[in-house]
Chains A and B, each alone.
Chain A
Amino acid sequence: MVKEKKKLNYFFIRLLILLTHSILLGTIYLNGNYTDIMEVIKLSAVVLTSDIIYFIIAGCMEQDTYTVDFLLILIMNISMIFQSCFGNVHFNLKHFITIVAGMVTYHIGYYFTRNSFKSEKLKPYYYAGTILLIGVIVLFTGSRSMWIDFGAFSIQPSEFMKPLFILICATSLYKQQDKKKIWYFMVTPNNLAMFAMAAVIFGLQWWCRDLGSIPTFAAVIGCAIINRMCYPRAKFSKKKIVFLVVMILAAALVAIKFAPGYVKDRLYVDIWAHMDGNGYQQSRALIAIAEGGWLGKGPGFGRLYKVAAYDTDIVFSAVSEEWGLLAVILFVVLILLLLATSLINTPRCYYHGTIAVGVTAVFVVQMSLNIFGSCNLIPFTGVTLPFLSNGGTSMVTSAFLVGMLKASQSPVFVRNIVAKKPDKSEKRG
């Protein structure tokens, strides 16, 4: 008898990841700008040791697929290497801590969402969590800010709303056939609650001027609507779709009309005419990309680190200057591959399908806003590039989202259904 394999062999993949990180670290050793070789050795030791430790941890976990894990550790440690080179090669402890926190939340995200039945029971808590976050933002961040400071570090609570909102969209997909008549309209209570929550979130983002996040939430709700159109039980009529499209277009036009002055300035700014004004960051970012060329100046030889937000909002250009445009494009392709894994190993239920689409929407919109904003193709926004930008909130949220994505590939379907024993009368019959 031929024994069936319990697990696939990932030895070659593990070896390749270690070699890839080693070669990148070797490039720093040969080409990098460093004053103390110990910094390079420290960085190398941390990157390679964390790789090995994670391989051991991942090996102990029972799940169907591991490619997301391996792609994530590859991406995380490449990000660690890039972030440790800005200006001068040094071990970036803060970024390492955020990566460790990210890997922990990645697994929390996975365990939290892998069972659709359990997750659906938690639906009221997702709404409660979002309302709690809205309350925190209203009370603690103020009307023109989105950060809460805790001494040395600060957090952006609105980031945590992204996974919660995706979960709201996913769990509200069930019971689409349950409709109620409100006035003259037949509505699905689940959809109504989802749209109401979306409206509150948009209002809040507008109020605290976190306008960069609005497209991300809009993409998530857009994908949720498309999912409802595909979901058989939803019975979304053409009239409703047309009505929604008209409403969205009207909202967009009103938003542009009443946008704050600084937003309108950014829409029409000529960055080369205002190099020391509104176009300061973008013009420096473009010059840095041009100076870096295809293969970069070399790790630690960049100059963009002198510009504000070099490691967050314009990190695309900062990496491009030191490592080359090809390297940063490759990094983006790695993230796209991470998202594309759910196209290969497709989700097995509508809940996980909605999660996969929502997570993909968040990443694609965030990456587009960051990259095209840096390159002056769209107005500049303060949105981070997932995994590459420095910042704990962004890293933790992005990792949680990838955990949710993995749940769609390694799902668990346990509902604790107990088959009823037949009655005595049935047995006699």
Chain B
Amino acid sequence: MHETLSEFLKGFGEQIVTFKGFACAFALLFVDFCAIAIFCKSYSEKKFCHKKWNRRFEYLALVDENRVIPIENSEILLGRHRSSDIQFPDLSVSRYHAVLTFSDGILLLDDLNSKSGTYVNGKRIKSAVIKINDEIRIGAMIFSIKKIKDGDNGKRKKEA
């Protein structure tokens, strides 16, 4: 291992001391630098996209008795199963109960053939467009979609 490393350094050292080697190493270093700069920029893009996405979603969140969960994906699965995007730990809720999709500024709720059904403002639905403050019931769980401020993201409501 030690010999391999020393051979590597020796070979590299022999090549880099020549003009050709130095020029090539400099060019490669610059490619490296450029790649790192672009990669770092993608982190700025991530932050930028996050803000833009929130604007696009108008800072919407699913609000139930205890939680405020910001909607940050185009497709959100609601159910009892732990792999659901938003989990409702209640036996009246099916494992994969309903799916909430957001497109073109409109929220759509689709029932996934659940046993207890999905209700919007008291009416059982198969698929329905959701408006802000509509009361949604899946099983025994009741929640609504509300506008929130940016600062409230992910925070739990204090229990009364």
Interface residues of A (CB under 8 A from B): 4-5, 8, 10, 12-13, 16-17, 19-20, 23-24, 26-27, 30-31, 64-67, 70-71, 74, 78, 116-117, 177, 230, 232-233, 235, 293-296, 298, 323-324, 326-327, 330, 333-334, 337, 340-341, 344-345, 348-350, 409, 411, 413-417, 419-420
A326, chain B: closest CB distance, angstroms: 6
B33 proximity list for chain A (CB < 8 A) = 16, 20
With the chains together, A13 CA to B49 CA distance in Å?
A: 18
Stretch at the interface among B15-23, B60-68, B136-144, B152-160: B15-23
Q: List 27 A-B contacts (CB under 8 A).
A: A4-B55, A8-B44, A12-B37, A16-B37, A20-B30, A20-B34, A27-B26, A31-B20, A31-B23, A31-B24, A67-B42, A67-B45, A70-B38, A74-B34, A177-B112, A230-B83, A235-B96, A330-B35, A337-B35, A344-B43, A344-B45, A349-B74, A409-B49, A413-B102, A413-B103, A415-B103, A415-B108
B115 proximity list for chain A (CB < 8 A) = none
- Whether the pair B103, A74 counts as a contact (CB closer than 8 A) is no
A67 proximity list for chain B (CB < 8 A) = 38-39, 41-42, 45
With the chains together, A31 CA to B23 CA distance in Å?
A: 8
- Whether the pair A349, B37 counts as a contact (CB closer than 8 A) is no
- Whether the pair A30, B79 counts as a contact (CB closer than 8 A) is no
B26, chain A: closest CB distance, angstroms: 7
- Whether the pair A345, B23 counts as a contact (CB closer than 8 A) is no
Q: With A16-B34, A337-B35, A345-B49 known to touch, is A23 a contact of B77 (CB < 8 Å)?
A: no
Given pairs A16-B37, A177-B113, A409-B49, 6 additional interface contacts (CB within 8 A): A23-B27, A31-B23, A233-B96, A295-B25, A344-B43, A413-B102
A4 proximity list for chain B (CB < 8 A) = 51, 55
With the chains together, A232 CA to B45 CA distance in Å?
A: 29
With the chains together, A10 CA to B37 CA distance in Å?
A: 11
Interface residues of B (CB under 8 A from A): 11-12, 15-16, 19-21, 23-28, 30-35, 37-39, 41-46, 48-49, 51-53, 55, 72-75, 77, 79, 81, 83-85, 96, 99, 101-104, 106, 108, 112-113, 129, 131
- Tell which of B26, B38, B39 touches A23, judged by Cβ atoms closer than 8 Å: B26
The residue among A71, A409, A417 with the most chain B CB atoms within 10 A of its own CB is A417
Question: A346 — nearest CB in chain B belongs to which residue?
Answer: B46
A295 proximity list for chain B (CB < 8 A) = 12, 15-16, 20-21, 24-25, 28
With the chains together, A334 CA to B31 CA distance in Å?
A: 9
- Tell which of A23, A235, A348 touches B74, judged by Cβ atoms closer than 8 Å: A348
With the chains together, A177 CA to B95 CA distance in Å?
A: 11
- Whether the pair A350, B12 counts as a contact (CB closer than 8 A) is no
- Tell which of B15, B35, B52 touches A334, judged by Cβ atoms closer than 8 Å: B35
- Whether the pair A417, B103 counts as a contact (CB closer than 8 A) is yes
- Whether the pair A74, B27 counts as a contact (CB closer than 8 A) is no
- Whether the pair A13, B38 counts as a contact (CB closer than 8 A) is yes
User: Chain B interface mostly helix, strand, loop or mixed?
Assistant: helix
Q: With A23-B26, A323-B24, A417-B129 known to touch, is A65 a contact of B16 (CB < 8 Å)?
A: no
B28 proximity list for chain A (CB < 8 A) = 295, 324, 326-327, 330
Question: B127 — nearest CB in chain A belongs to which residue?
Answer: A417
With the chains together, A333 CA to B34 CA distance in Å?
A: 12
With the chains together, A65 CA to B42 CA distance in Å?
A: 8
With the chains together, A66 CA to B79 CA distance in Å?
A: 36
Q: With A232-B84, A233-B96, A296-B24 known to touch, is A64 a contact of B74 (CB < 8 Å)?
A: no
The residue among B34, B37, B79 with the most chain A CB atoms within 10 A of its own CB is B34
Q: With A24-B27, A177-B96, A349-B73 known to touch, is A337 a contact of B39 (CB < 8 Å)?
A: yes
With the chains together, A261 CA to B133 CA distance in Å?
A: 69
Q: With A65-B45, A232-B96 known to touch, is A294 a contact of B32 (CB < 8 Å)?
A: no
- Whether the pair A333, B45 counts as a contact (CB closer than 8 A) is no
Q: With A78-B31, A414-B104, A417-B104 known to touch, is A293 a contact of B15 (CB < 8 Å)?
A: yes
A82, chain B: closest CB distance, angstroms: 12
B34 proximity list for chain A (CB < 8 A) = 16-17, 19-20, 74
With the chains together, A311 CA to B83 CA distance in Å?
A: 47
With the chains together, A326 CA to B11 CA distance in Å?
A: 13
Q: With A8-B44, A65-B45 known to touch, is A74 a contact of B74 (CB < 8 Å)?
A: no
- Whether the pair B129, A333 counts as a contact (CB closer than 8 A) is no
- Whether the pair B24, A8 counts as a contact (CB closer than 8 A) is no
> Which 8 pairs show the lowest CB-CB distances between chains A and B?
A415-B103, A413-B103, A67-B42, A20-B34, A232-B83, A295-B15, A295-B24, A295-B21
A70 proximity list for chain B (CB < 8 A) = 38, 41
Question: B44 — nearest CB in chain A belongs to which residue?
Answer: A8
